[in-house]
Chain A
């Protein structure tokens, strides 16, 4: 196209000399004929020959009439083409028609502009330079598949800068109008949204403009338009599901630079399939840890540390219900079925007021809805696990069911091994999910999610460990009117673990723990006006904890049965927040959450003397509370504030302040979270935790949103963070409060993220520098750690670099890589030995004074898409990946053992010290 135009220009310039000479007059009459017929008529009556593209003329079916006497060919043609976008030039006997463009017979004065141009300009007359193709040539951001659309007819005299561009947006397949699609002019801060009929109107500057549509469910359309005058641009959009070839992680709903929330990581599961992961398993939570600010203590750790928060400070939600243990197999797999999850939002900075109860973050995982039109499914076959999910319509276009299941077959692998001790082992997990969604009518929709995951492992012949998550969520969405919506949600979550110790001796026992949570949520959304969006609601949660029992399995057992009294608590909250669009540039979101917690009976609570350490000696009495009697209440107001100021359309700054309370604590004196860690509720002797976070971020999109750059910083203070006295015993402890310390925490950090969302090379690079400290101070030695000074927390890893890169070689082959580097985590080191009372003891350093070696790892994967035949049973792809290509033996644990000769030896355990290959076959039908 471009070449053709350039050639055309040359021809024209060469002929210029003769152009002005043909001034013969013509008399002609038209009556209700098409322009095509008019041209033919002119050709028959005059020596002029027309040169044009047939499509231009045939596109216009309107008929013309008119009688002309002794007019020049120019005025005749001006009249004929007056209502079209066609321009013409008369060259001797040739008439060349052009669509939109005007062929200039002189170049604009400043076409070859030099800085020394001395032309005098009259400021009172707006002379607009003609828009030349040269401008188009220099637009370096046009897309490979985009062609230029010309809008309006260019005129020689034009004094307006802005034109109206309007049109309809239709679905490419259904041809129905598409409402609520954002249409904007790139880099120009001009945007609008289509109305019910799919109509939009934009005021755009003349010249080249890049028009872009954005919508959650549709593919993004980018059109480059050359605007000469007011004009029409109809756009067809396709559903997004049809395309997932380039974007890895894409914040589809809104550009990060536009939203008010800082510290939000959105992951779309559909788009993470290329990342090489351990054992070929897709894992939404593992992907989360590749973003700055989200870390794990190490390989095989079940928990996450978000911006210096402890493992128990993350609210992990699956369709609004809390998932207590999000991991399988000590954290090597996540308990969330990757094929049924649709996306995850991780709020690590400002947390919307609708969420509460945890200090550091919210992991909001949303399950896919089933396909209500046809049966479809997908699955994966890997070396350890296989899974399948099938979706089918229950009531066509109204209700659907999605069923997903996953299981390991590691038992079979273990049994086939030659090693005797491994033959007796078993290890495995399974999980299943059912999601039903039903659109009752335009105003009501119901959704039900049921999820169950189960793990079991037997690594010695006599002990069987089991743990399971069970959750259910029922949601009813109701739309009152255009401006008011509500959702009523019921959830129930249960987590339990059990150790069945079945020894041959008399000491066989059964040990278990269980937590159950029931919740009701009522959420409202009100669109007050263009400027105010309100979110408000209430929630209430009832916890029931059975903190542990131990029952001997044999009657002759010397073990005493133990049953720790159960715990009960009611956590309720009211919240309201307003998203206030102060101006186009300033958007704020402010709100309050009021949390109220009551610890409930039946219970016997010890009373300790005030202001002394809690221990057996400071007990001054006991109080008994009847069933459901309030033991103690706590409440607090949690202000949440976030603001975004846009300097330009692609550059903004955000600030936020958040306060959070947490009434439930995970007891874990391990460095890493383990499945047998138990949750404890606040009561008269354990106070709730609280935190305040201040964050500030800069967001910049470069190259028309192809590159997203963000820099975020935060500072966090927390109170009543749990820690443990030296040598604390947490399992089956009736008076656990005597082992606990509650201290202060402080954390700060900066996070840098560069994302490239499209192109053959895409992915992201992240870096964070963060520090986390805690302080346990008291006037009593027993309650002091490191003499009451701040010390680095177990998960304090200052430097963290991640790079996830994906390169598409061809349509079928792509390679991806994942690199992680982290500073080694702190460790309490044995620094010497001493003798006390004739026995030898180890002297330890200050808590977390030293560090283990740094962690780094590189994974590489290759994805091979199945063939692209149209008629095939299933769409498939292979994923071949190698985990830890460098074979780095990263320490999982460093521990110290006193050998028989009294020597202390240090050992390092690595989980994957060699490259681990894996292969997975994924299919879709």
Chain B
């Protein structure tokens, strides 16, 4: 259904632009650009605190992020520094947080306990004060299982990773997921030798480091992943948390996903789903109702002051899952590598002849844009064949450190 709605929007957007063109053509037979850039009013910026705070039932040093809204032209997100941050519960406990590398981390490890109500307080350095409503820990519900199957989505074949969960008490209802995916990368054009530049006109072949052949990349989800069983008879989740096209290189060898399941309160779920809805662009004819919306945080002194974020006290459970490409796609060719690996040839000579590319070769080796494949020719000048660096050296874009959780 969501897909359909997106389609509606796309259609409408396309459509409305065309109406304009069409009308112009019809009326005047003159094509005059009718959509133009509109100068944004610049004096509208408001600096608002953005609070990301999810406290779980996991015993650890809990973390809270407090940043500030930025102007559109700003590239960096600023952290609200030197704020006093603490959580209190209805049993009289107070958990203090301290600033650590752009985050606020609790001084002591603690976990949210069922039945208790927690309140977040933030006092900024310049004297503003914010408080959340009192939130209780949501139902604790274990993530049951993760599975991966070959499936088709929107006409595209790929791997569908579902999570399953079941709450026999029918209390959980609202779920939010986060995942962290890690995948093994094998540089397809890794060779045992590499080129090194000895002097501005000399190169030599030396043994290549085996460390550059295999790497592991880790990525987090960015989209909000939300599921609700409110309309179902039973509180059973079968949620598609990740879909990877069979043309995506990340599943080429071995893939692992860690899925975290948060059971959310309705208020938190409403906040996240509103956030999700507003992130999509509206269209001309079906504009998404834009607007500002509050979470459960409020300024203590000025109720009209904006603050973004939700103080979420959610139960969490997680599971890790691995699969190999060959398990799901036996005997099928691997997906294309993440970048094109087209071989290039360089005649290693210097001079004005068009064929001589010695200087260019040296420059590209020194800049790490190319990686050596092989050379041809019994005598000088040799012709060197090279690939773009990522094809022969995965450390150029990933890490060769095997994560501690990795099981081959």
Chain A positions within 8 Å of B, measured between CB atoms, are: 279, 300, 330, 332, 383-384, 410, 413-414, 417, 419, 421-422, 425, 427, 457, 459-460, 463, 465, 499, 501, 505-507, 509, 550, 558-560, 562, 615-617, 619, 669-671, 674, 676, 724-729, 731-732, 781-782, 784-787, 789, 828-839, 841-847, 850, 883, 889, 891-898, 903-918
Contact = CB atoms under 8 A, between A and B. Distances in A.
A726 B11 CA distance: 22
Contacts of A891: 38
A781 B14 contact: no
B5 interface: yes
Given A550-B4, A838-B220, A908-B35, A832 B46 contact: yes
Interface stretch (B114-122, B271-279, B376-384): B271-279
A726 B221 CA distance: 24
A511 to B, nearest CB: 8
B388 interface: no
B296 A726 contact: no
B69 A833 contact: yes
A669 B28 contact: no
B30 to A, nearest CB: 7
Given A725-B274, A726-B277, A912-B23, A615 B291 contact: no
A422 B21 contact: yes
Contacts of A726: 274, 277-278, 289-293
B287 A669 contact: yes
A910 B27 CA distance: 14
Nearest to A612: B266
**Which of the listed residues A505, A558, A837, A893 has the most CB atoms from chain B within 10 Å of its own CB?**
A837
Nearest to A891: B38
A785 B274 CA distance: 13
A844 B39 CA distance: 16
23 contacts: A384-B26, A410-B26, A422-B18, A422-B25, A425-B22, A507-B4, A507-B155, A727-B274, A727-B288, A731-B5, A786-B292, A828-B291, A829-B44, A831-B45, A832-B46, A832-B69, A832-B70, A834-B48, A834-B69, A893-B16, A906-B39, A907-B38, A914-B30
B284 A841 contact: no
A460 B221 CA distance: 33
B22 A427 contact: yes
B291 A459 contact: no
Interface string B35-50: 1111111001111101
B145 to A, nearest CB: 24
B173 interface: yes
B50 A835 contact: yes
B285 interface: yes
B291 A847 contact: yes
Contacts, number: 258
Contact of A895 (B155, B275, B282): B282
B287 A671 contact: yes
B4 A844 contact: no
A669 B20 contact: no
Given A459-B18, A911-B34, A835 B77 contact: yes
A309 to B, nearest CB: 20
B308 A850 contact: no
A845 B155 contact: no
Contacts of A785: 291
A559 B284 contact: no
A829 B290 CA distance: 9
B72 interface: yes
**Which of the listed residues A332, A728, A834, A896 has the most CB atoms from chain B within 10 Å of its own CB?**
A834
Nearest to B223: A839
A413 B230 contact: no
B206 interface: no
B303 interface: yes
A784 B7 CA distance: 30
Contacts of B198: none
A417 B27 CA distance: 13
A459 to B, nearest CB: 4
A669 B287 CA distance: 7
A832 B4 contact: no
A384 B22 CA distance: 12
Interface in B294-331: 294-296, 303-304, 306, 308-309
A835 B36 CA distance: 28
Contacts of A616: 228, 230-231, 266
Given A832-B46, A836-B275, A839-B222, A670 B1 contact: no
B284 A893 contact: yes
A832 B48 contact: yes
Contacts of B44: 829, 831, 845, 850
Contacts of B149: none
Those 4 A-B pairs whose CB atoms lie nearest each other, nearest first: A727-B277, A908-B38, A617-B266, A616-B230
A562 B11 CA distance: 20
A463 B309 CA distance: 39
A835 B69 CA distance: 8
Nearest to B155: A505
A299 to B, nearest CB: 10
A837 B22 CA distance: 42
B287 A670 contact: yes
A559 B290 CA distance: 28
Contact of B34 (A414, A417, A559, A910): A910
Contacts of A619: 230
Interface band, chain B: 35 or more
Contacts of B74: 833
B19 interface: yes
Nearest to A853: B38
B284 A909 contact: yes
Contacts of A834: 48, 50, 67-70, 77, 308
A473 to B, nearest CB: 31
B309 to A, nearest CB: 7
Given A782-B270, A832-B45, A834-B308, A463 B11 contact: yes
Interface string B1-16: 1011101100100111
B287 A895 contact: yes
Given A417-B25, A829-B41, A836-B308, A425 B293 contact: no
Given A670-B286, A895-B287, 9 more contacts: A726-B274, A727-B289, A729-B5, A731-B8, A782-B293, A832-B46, A889-B36, A905-B40, A908-B37
A391 to B, nearest CB: 31
Contacts of A505: 154-155
A671 to B, nearest CB: 6
B169 interface: no
Given A279-B27, A907-B35, A562 B77 contact: no
B69 A843 contact: yes
Nearest to B292: A844
Interface string B49-76: 0101000000000000001111111100
B37 to A, nearest CB: 6
Given A834-B50, A836-B308, A908-B35, A559 B4 contact: yes
B278 A841 contact: yes
A413 B41 CA distance: 40
Contacts of A837: 52, 178, 222, 224
Interface string B341-382: 000000000000000000000000000000000000000000
A727 B287 CA distance: 9
Contacts of A457: 15, 19
B22 A459 contact: yes
Contacts of A910: 20, 34-36
B223 to A, nearest CB: 7
Nearest to A730: B286
Contacts of A422: 18, 21-22, 25
B82 interface: no
A838 B155 CA distance: 29
Contacts of A838: 220-222
Interface in B125-183: 152-155, 173-174, 178
Nearest to B52: A836
B15 A832 contact: no
